[in-house]
Amino acid sequence: MLLDAGSNMDCKPDHLVQFAHMGSVYSERVLKVDRPSVGLMNVGEEPGKGNEQTKEAHGLLSAAEHLNFIGNIEGRDVMEHAADVVVCDGFVGNVMLKLGESIASVLPRMLGAEMKRQRMSPEEQAVVARALLGVAKQFDYEEYGGVPLLGVKGTVILGHGGSGEKAFENMVLVAVEAARQDVPGSISAALAS
C-alpha cells in the first residue's frame, strides 16, 4: 500500500507518520495483513539519508510504538514487497504510481519487439504472452477497483479516470469492506493514541 499517491504534495514529517498509521489500519482491516510492516520511501536505506523531511520522519516513525516500522526503503524495494505500507509525500507517490501504471502497457510492447527480434515462433510467442498476461494482471487497476482516500470521515474510494465496469464493481466491493471494517473509526482511534 502506497501513501500518499498524490493527494498531499507538500507534507510535513508528522503527516508521514499519520499516513503510516492510516495505511496500517487499512492493511489490517481490509487487506487482512497481520501487523503490517511500514517502510519510508527514501534515497537510501540508512537512517541519516534523505532530505530534512524524511530524516525527521524516520525519527518519528522509529519512535512510534504502535507501528511496525522497518526503516527506509528505496524505489527498487517496492516491487520486491519490502514493506506492506510504503510512506512518502504525494509528489513522490504519484510519480511512483504513474511509473507502475506504465509497466502494464510498456512491457508487452517491449516483449513483443524482443520476441520478433529473436524470431520466436508463434507457438513460443503464445507461451510467453500467456505468462505475461498473468504478470500484467497484477498491474491492472481494474483488478483493484480504486484506492482509498484515508483520513476523511467516511469511506471514499477513488477510481482511475479510465475505469470501466470491472473497476467500478471492485470499487464497490472494497468500499463495502472498508465500511464493514469501520476503517474511518479505526483510523481515528489509531491517530488519537
With a cut of 80, say whether residue 144 has pLDDT above it: no
Ramachandran angles phi, psi of 34, nearest 5°: -80, 120
Residue that the C-alpha cell 524470431 belongs to: 119
With a cut of 80, say whether residue 138 has pLDDT above it: no
How much of the chain exceeds pLDDT 70, in percent?
100
Reported pTM: 0.86
pLDDT tens per residue across span 49-83: 999 999 999 999 999 989 999 999 999 999 899 99
For the chain, domain boundaries: 2-192
User: May I ask the CATH class of domain 2-192?
Assistant: alpha beta
Residue that the C-alpha cell 520486491 belongs to: 80
The Cβ of residue 75 has, within 10 Å, a number of other Cβ atoms equal to 15
Before 4, cis peptide (omega within 30)? Answer: yes
